[in-house]
């Protein structure tokens, strides 16, 4: 395996966790999953974004830091690959969308201090999914607080993600996941496996699913 720390990213409802589970099982890898259900501010945020955005993002950043810091300090002799379903920079990207300018500048200062202490993945898998497909996936997983997410919010997140990846020239397997069915279609999963079996220079490397 050419990559030892792999991160799967994408918008809300893109299928990050499903693909992360499949990859971890395939490679017998250590898995790191976003613990979003532990965030007490999440349902409140969707009801009142202005009031709860800052504590929401601070809580997420603290939890993600704790998880990824623990990964650095614990080595597993039997699992040389680690796969996560989030990029730590996600903290900054969501904060950019959710916070007013003054709060975002404060958040960014905290993020910059913490981010220096963490490892960046060897490769990022980004699932680029159309908004209508995201909304369909969100309805299917049926989390009550997510059911009224506006298309505009998802679009802003999508734009923020893709702009960041391109501006920073991050080594990315960029997958057009509009028709993705990694659980039900072995060919879709094989595209990801084949993509991971290659060496890449920095930048985006695009793949479509059959």
Residues tagged active-site: 85
User: In whole angstroms, what is the distance from residue 206 CA to residue 87 CA?
Assistant: 19
Residue 209, Cα to own-chain centre: how many angstroms?
A: 20
User: In whole angstroms, what is the distance from residue 136 CA to residue 100 CA?
Assistant: 29
Q: 5 is written with which tokens?
A: 């720390």
Q: Tell me how crowded residue 94 is: count the other CB atoms within 10 A of its CB.
A: 20
* DSSP secondary structure of 29-82: -EEE---GGG-TTHHHHHH-HHHHHHHHHHHHHHHHHHHHHHHHH---TT---E
Residue 10 β-bridge partners: 127
């Amino acid at each position: 395996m050419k990559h030892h720390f792999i991160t799967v990213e994408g918008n809300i409802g893109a299928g990050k966790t499903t693909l992360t589970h499949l990859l971890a099982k395939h490679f017998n890898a250590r898995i790191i999953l976003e613990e979003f259900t532990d965030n007490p501010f999440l349902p409140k945020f969707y009801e009142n974004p202005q009031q709860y955005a800052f504590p929401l993002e601070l809580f997420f950043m603290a939890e993600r830091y704790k998880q990824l810091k623990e990964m650095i300090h614990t080595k597993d002799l039997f699992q040389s690959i680690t796969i996560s379903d989030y990029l730590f920079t996600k903290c900054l990207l969501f904060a950019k969308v959710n916070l007013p300018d003054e709060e975002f500048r404060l958040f960014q200062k905290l993020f910059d201090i913490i981010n220096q202490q963490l490892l960046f993945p060897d490769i990022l898998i980004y699932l680029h999914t159309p908004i209508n497909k995201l909304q369909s996936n969100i309805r299917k997983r049926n989390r009550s607080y997510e059911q009224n997410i506006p298309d505009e919010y998802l679009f802003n997140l999508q734009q923020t993600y893709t702009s960041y990846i391109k501006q920073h020239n991050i080594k990315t397997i960029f997958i057009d996941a509009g028709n993705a069915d990694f659980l039900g279609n072995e060919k879709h999963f094989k595209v990801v496996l084949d993509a991971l079996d290659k060496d890449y220079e920095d930048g985006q490397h695009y793949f479509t699913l059959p």
